């Protein structure tokens, strides 16, 4: 596996923290050169660049809720590197929307914020990067979805819907782009120990959440990172369009 991804240029969105950071470090260990993306936390992004050492390219900033920032980011990357071999669509926002308590206005603002970033922003980025991949002979796109897309998210309707939409986007793109040598893979984790899940895991329902899995714990970021590395390199092209669960048997689909 070492040096599997030698020289590949990989953009990992949301790699300043959490799963994205873990995936970036593991991809780098396998030989890839990494572009670190963040939204606000430039200090954390710089720290990841340091940790990546020689495999670091540079950091880029863009709010996935802003299509123009996304376009400018892709143009800047292509200007600097000429190509993106693998795109890892990892960045996302989560919020409990308290749908039964909130006013329509509050609920709708949250809906727009989350769906715009998680689904529209990821779609814009995938569109722009796949156009660039067409010019360089192909590539791979890896989407980080969520168990919530299948299981339902009673407190986070927009998040669940955005991930359901992402699953569908990945399937559509897989069909459209396979003839162009671009392959699309989706990973659907259950809870993972990161900043995003911290409130839930440290709150009163923490034990109940951990015990949804027979392991009595949630996933570690590196466990998701391992699958990202597989899809970035070794995974057969014929897997394109797949959605792979990693949830410690907490929610099993048939």
Minimum distance of ligand NAP from residue 182's CB (angstroms): 20
Report, in angstroms and rounded to the nearest whole number, the Rg of the chain calculated over CA atoms.
17
- Choice from 32, 86, 92, 229 touching ligand NAP (CB under 6 A): 92
Which of 111, 150, 157, 159 is catalytic? The answer is: 159
Nearest residue to ligand NAP by CB is 18
With binding defined as CB under 6 A, does residue 144 bind ligand NAP?
Answer: yes
Q: How far is CA 244 from CA 109, 190, 247, in A?
A: 31, 11, 10
CB 144 within 8 A of CB 89: yes
159 has catalytic annotation:
yes
Nearer to ligand NAP, 84 or 144 (CB): 144
Minimum distance of ligand NAP from residue 49's CB (angstroms): 13
Separation CA 233–CA 5 (nearest Å): 6
Separation CA 86–CA 109 (nearest Å): 32
Q: List alpha helices for 118-213, DSSP H.
A: 122-136, 148-151, 157-177, 195-202, 206-210
Nearer to ligand NAP, 63 or 85 (CB): 63
Minimum distance of ligand NAP from residue 85's CB (angstroms): 21
Separation of CA 55 from chain center? 20
Separation CA 243–CA 167 (nearest Å): 7
Q: From residue 25 to residue 64, what is the string marking binding to ligand NAP with x (rule CB under 6 A)?
A: -------------xxxx--x------------------xx
CB 158 within 8 A of CB 93: no
Return the axis-axis angle of helices 18-29 and 42-52, rounded to nearest 10°. 20
With binding defined as CB under 6 A, does residue 240 bind ligand NAP?
Answer: no
- Choice from 120, 130, 186, 197 touching ligand NAP (CB under 6 A): 197
CB 174 within 8 A of CB 239: no
- Choice from 10, 14, 67, 170 touching ligand NAP (CB under 6 A): 14
With binding defined as CB under 6 A, does residue 18 bind ligand NAP?
Answer: yes
**Catalytic positions:** 159
Which residues of the shown chain bind ligand NAP in the complex (CB under 6 A)?
14, 16-20, 38-41, 44, 63-65, 90-94, 117, 144, 146, 189, 191-192, 194-197
């Amino acid at each position: 596996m070492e040096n599997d991804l030698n020289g590949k240029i990989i953009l990992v969105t949301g790699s300043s923290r959490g799963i994205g950071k873990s995936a970036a470090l593991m991809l780098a260990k396998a030989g890839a050169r990494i572009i670190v993306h963040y939204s606000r936390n430039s200090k954390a992004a710089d720290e990841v660049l340091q940790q990546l050492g020689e495999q670091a390219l540079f950091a880029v900033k863009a709010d996935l809720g802003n299509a123009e920032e996304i376009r400018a980011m892709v143009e800047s990357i292509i200007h600097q590197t000429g190509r993106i071999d693998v795109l890892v669509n990892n960045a996302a926002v989560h919020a409990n929307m308290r749908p039964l308590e909130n006013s329509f206005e509050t609920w709708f603002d949250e809906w727009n914020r989350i769906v715009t970033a998680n689904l529209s922003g990821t779609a814009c980025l995938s569109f722009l990067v796949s156009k660039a991949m067409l010019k360089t002979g192909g590539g791979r796109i890896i989407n980080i979805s969520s168990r919530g897309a299948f299981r339902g998210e009673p407190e986070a309707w927009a998040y669940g819907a955005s991930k359901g939409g992402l699953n569908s986007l990945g399937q559509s793109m897989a069909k459209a782009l396979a003839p162009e040598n671009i392959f699309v893979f989706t990973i659907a984790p259950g809870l993972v120990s990161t900043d995003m899940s911290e409130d839930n895991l440290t709150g009163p329902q923490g034990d109940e959440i951990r015990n949804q899995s027979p392991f009595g714990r949630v996933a570690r970021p590196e466990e998701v990172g391992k699958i990202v590395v597989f899809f970035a390199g070794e995974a057969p092209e014929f897997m394109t369009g797949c959605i792979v669960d990693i949830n410690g048997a907490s929610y099993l689909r048939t």
